[in-house]
Amino acid sequence: MTKKIYTLRQKAQNLIMNSEYRSVKLHGVSCSRSDLEMVVFYSDTLLKNGNLNGLMEPRGNIKDVFEKVGLVAPYSF
């Protein structure tokens, strides 16, 4: 589980560094820069706490990315 989260975070971080202004695909989902930043934020929180308690539930493209990776069940709100 942790490896999946870490890998997702690294991919999102690399896309942020390499494509500053355009939208990109992450696991088949079209993401803007702010979507990528939120994926990194949620991933950091999952790595640190193991859940997303206290945060808003991911929605839209961010939720789609987490679903494609298989990280739907472990987080609770």
Which residues, 6 or more positions from 34, have their beta carbon under 8 angstroms from its beta carbon? Answer: none
Return the amino acid letter for 65: V
pLDDT at 77: 44
Q: Is 5:43 a contact under the CB 8 Å cutoff? A: yes
pLDDT at 48: 92
Q: Is 8:65 a contact under the CB 8 Å cutoff? A: yes
Q: Where are the domains of the chain?
A: 2-69
pLDDT digits 0-9 by tens, 18-76: 887 788 999 999 999 999 999 999 999 999 988 888 888 889 999 999 999 988 655 55
CA distance 20 to 34: 10
Look at residue 8 and tell me whether its pLDDT is greater than 90. Answer: yes
Structure tokens at 16: 């942020």
